[in-house]
């Protein structure tokens, strides 16, 4: 009787709530993520740091996105046309795009955002050399007029990695590009809760209720950015790998962005945890300093390339067979430009051949200073392997240990080795950042004026890159990418060392999680 009466009361209460539109109480869902690093800089245009890029994806939207097959897809743009002479691009924004302060996104916001991005990003800068003018042609439209046709307009606007052309309100985008923005308002799927941001502790994002996702299936950084959780918290304090794994196993966090290789096998055995590998991953490389002996000599670089078989590097550094694969391309294998043209010097190299090449090079015994980062477990073994192979070849090697930040500072120095300079360092790039001849920073060859460290100089390589930029036919672009790569191997700009995927781990209860390998994004997730 009592049970019946209680049920009747509950039913009446439910009917009352329904009649008057009172929403049923619902527990707030919070997704707790352990990012791969600390978030410090909140301006993803000012810095190329990946954490700032990922923060950008939370709160900003992009004109175009890149899907998981590395194809450019419209995102904020609803439709666009290209003139017959391929010099005028007219874009119209989708309906209903709003910034977090409620203001509509306009063509003027887009133009100001692109202008600032073009002053910071390498690919954006390359695009701006082709741009005659950018203008708003209506409240929701804008036009880009080029001086001559360029084959990478949409690729640049939809580039998935740093610096991503995020769209900001005009007043924010007008910030001096050499200074950081101080207002963090975007039109993306999440709103940044500035008051709850504690550097080194946590960053909090809440769902933007007025965000209008696209209808297409989410894929990479493109498609519908649906938000099914109320809040996302980035745990910035949890940086010890063992503690991260413990916290995930205990259900205190939902996702770990970077699973260290040494914990991979342990986590695979945990039935409550799902390990995810992205379709595309990262590429290892060792970079020569072309300004100083012995790597100012192309024949020495060729000899080193011949000795740098990828397998030993991958085996020593990653160790887990599921997670690495040799790749003969300087671009990303499995993508349209991931060709092997001209890579034979390395892919078919051998120690005997390397020793012969070194003998012919006139190498005078100058020691090679390799900078080895001791605090970055994802790349710390590469210099050891490089040193061993070079010693085996007959070179003198000075392997200098330092923390990554010292390495980052030192590699910017053009000074000779005896004045604090260097000869070689090894690093890893996410695939989108090396995906084509324009954004692959290691392929710049303007000598000391080259933006990225190592400073190779080769006019022919620069000509080929410029031809790639101008080419609009996709088949010819693929062929040109092959030509660029062939020349880069001849010049010996750097040594690609194969690809790997950095696994991510999450609780099995998490559904819809996108692990494209392009960037870490947190839409479409159900908890």
Partner 1 sequence: MYQFIARRLLSTIPVLAIVAVLVFMLLRLTPGDPAAILAGDAASTEQIEGIRKTLGLDQPLPVQFGIWLGQMLQGDLGESYYYKVRVTELIGQRLEPTLSLAALTIVIAILVAVPLGVVAAWRFGGWFDRALMGFSVFGFSVPVFVVGYLLVWLVSLKLGWFPVQGYKPMDDGFGPFLYHLVLPSITLSVIYIALLARVTRASVLEALGEDYIRTARAKGLTESRVLISHALANAAVPIVTIIGIGIALLIGGVVVTESVYAIPGLGRLTVDAVLSRDFPTIQGVILFFSLVYVVVNLLVDLSYVILDPRIRY
Q: Binding residues for partner 1, per CB under 8 A?
A: 38, 40-41, 47-50, 52, 120, 122, 162, 178-180, 198-202, 235-240, 242-243, 246-247, 249-250, 252, 375, 402-403, 405-406, 408-412, 414, 420, 427, 433, 441, 451-453
Token representation of residue 364: 């005078």
Phi/psi at 334 (5° precision): 90, -5
For partner 1, the closer of residues 42 and 93 by Cβ is 42
Minimum distance between the CB of residue 221 and partner 1, rounded to whole angstroms?
17
Minimum distance between the CB of residue 211 and partner 1, rounded to whole angstroms?
27
CA dist 164 and 445 (Å) reads 23
For partner 1, the closer of residues 73 and 289 by Cβ is 289
For partner 1, the closer of residues 247 and 480 by Cβ is 247
Quote the DSSP letter at residue 442. Answer: G
Query: Where is 32: in which H helix or E strand?
Result: strand 30-34
Minimum distance between the CB of residue 430 and partner 1, rounded to whole angstroms?
10
Minimum distance between the CB of residue 495 and partner 1, rounded to whole angstroms?
18
CA dist 483 and 366 (Å) reads 32
Residues 6+ away with beta carbon under 8 Å from 319: 261
- Helix and strand numbers (H, E) in the chain are 16, 21
For partner 1, the closer of residues 41 and 467 by Cβ is 41
Minimum distance between the CB of residue 527 and partner 1, rounded to whole angstroms?
18
Q: Where are the alpha helices (DSSP H) in 394-495?
A: 404-410, 459-470, 474-491
- Please check whether residue 390 is in contact with residue 286, taking contact to mean a CB–CB distance below 8 angstroms: no
Quote the DSSP letter at residue 342. Answer: T
DSSP assignment of 101-112: TSPBP-HHHHHH
Q: Which of 221, 189, 224 is nearest to 67 (CA)?
A: 221
For partner 1, the closer of residues 226 and 239 by Cβ is 239
For partner 1, the closer of residues 247 and 306 by Cβ is 247
Terminal CA-to-CA distance of the chain, rounded, Å? 38
Quote the DSSP letter at residue 449. Answer: G
Minimum distance between the CB of residue 470 and partner 1, rounded to whole angstroms?
22
Phi/psi at 323 (5° precision): -105, -5
Minimum distance between the CB of residue 240 and partner 1, rounded to whole angstroms?
5
For partner 1, the closer of residues 144 and 286 by Cβ is 286
Query: Where is 8: in which H helix or E strand?
Result: helix 2-19
Minimum distance between the CB of residue 184 and partner 1, rounded to whole angstroms?
12
For partner 1, the closer of residues 50 and 152 by Cβ is 50
For partner 1, the closer of residues 47 and 388 by Cβ is 47
Residues 6+ away with beta carbon under 8 Å from 521: 54, 57, 58, 221, 225, 514
Minimum distance between the CB of residue 405 and partner 1, rounded to whole angstroms?
5
Q: Which of 311, 446, 445 is nearest to 389 (CA)?
A: 311
* 371-to-30, 365, 408 alpha-carbon distances in Å: 42, 18, 10
Token representation of residue 45: 């245009």
Minimum distance between the CB of residue 46 and partner 1, rounded to whole angstroms?
9
Quote the DSSP letter at residue 367. Answer: P
Quote the DSSP letter at residue 23. Answer: P
β-pairing verdict for 255-256 and 282-288:
unpaired
For partner 1, the closer of residues 226 and 413 by Cβ is 413
Minimum distance between the CB of residue 103 and partner 1, rounded to whole angstroms?
25
For partner 1, the closer of residues 84 and 412 by Cβ is 412
Query: Where is 311: in which H helix or E strand?
Result: helix 310-317
């Amino acid at each position: 009787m009592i049970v019946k009466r209680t049920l009747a009361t509950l039913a009446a209460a439910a009917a009352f709530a329904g009649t008057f539109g009172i929403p049923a109480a619902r527990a707030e869902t919070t997704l707790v993520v352990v990012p791969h690093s600390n978030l410090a800089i909140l301006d993803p245009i000012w810095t190329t740091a990946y954490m700032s890029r990922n923060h950008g994806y939370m709160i900003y939207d992009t004109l175009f996105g890149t899907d998981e097959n590395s194809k450019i897809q419209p995102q904020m743009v609803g439709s666009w046309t290209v003139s017959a002479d391929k010099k005028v691009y007219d874009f119209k924004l989708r309906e209903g795009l709003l910034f977090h302060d409620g203001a509509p996104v306009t063509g003027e916001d887009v133009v100001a955002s692109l202008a600032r991005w073009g002053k910071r990003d390498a690919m954006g800068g390359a695009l701006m050399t082709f741009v005659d003018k950018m203008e708003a042609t209506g409240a929701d439209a804008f036009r880009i007029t080029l001086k001559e046709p360029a084959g990478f307009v949409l690729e640049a606007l939809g580039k998935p990695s740093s610096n991503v052309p995020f769209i900001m309100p005009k007043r924010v985008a007008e910030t001096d590009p050499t200074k950081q923005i101080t207002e963090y308002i975007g039109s993306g799927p999440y709103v940044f809760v500035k008051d709850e941001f504690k550097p080194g502790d946590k960053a909090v994002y809440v769902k933007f209720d007025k965000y209008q996702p696209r209808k297409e299936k989410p894929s990479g950084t493109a498609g519908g950015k649906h938000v099914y959780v109320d809040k996302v918290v980035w745990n910035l304090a949890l940086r010890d790998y063992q503690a991260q794994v413990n916290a995930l196993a205990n259900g205190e966090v939902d996702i770990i962005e970077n699973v260290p290789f040494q914990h991979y096998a342990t986590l695979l055995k945990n039935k409550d945890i799902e390990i995810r590998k992205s379709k595309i991953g990262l590429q290892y490389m060792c970079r020569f300093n072309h300004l100083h002996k012995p790597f100012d000599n192309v024949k020495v670089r060729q000899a080193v390339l011949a000795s740098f078989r990828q397998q030993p590097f991958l085996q020593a550094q990653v160790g887990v067979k599921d997670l690495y694969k040799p790749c003969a391309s300087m671009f990303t294998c499995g993508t349209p430009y991931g060709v092997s043209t001209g890579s034979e010097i390395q892919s078919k190299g051998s120690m005997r051949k390397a020793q012969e090449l070194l003998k012919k090079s006139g190498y005078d015994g100058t020691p090679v200073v390799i900078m080895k980062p001791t605090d970055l477990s994802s790349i710390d073994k590469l210099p050891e392997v490089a040193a061993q192979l070079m010693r085996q070849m007959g070179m003198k090697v000075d392997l200098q240990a330092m923390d990554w930040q010292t390495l980052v500072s030192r590699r910017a120095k053009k000074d000779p080795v005896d004045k604090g300079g260097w000869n070689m360092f090894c690093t890893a790039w996410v695939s989108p950042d090396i995906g084509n001849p324009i954004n692959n920073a290691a392929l710049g060859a303007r000598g000391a004026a080259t933006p990225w460290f190592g400073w190779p100089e080769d006019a022919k390589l620069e000509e080929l890159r410029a031809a790639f930029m101008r080419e609009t036919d996709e088949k010819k672009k693929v062929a040109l990418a092959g030509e660029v790569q062939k020349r880069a191997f001849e010049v010996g700009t750097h040594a690609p060392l194969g690809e790997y995927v950095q696994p991510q781990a999450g609780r099995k209860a998490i559904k819809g999680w996108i692990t494209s390998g392009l960037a870490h994004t947190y839409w479409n997730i159900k908890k």
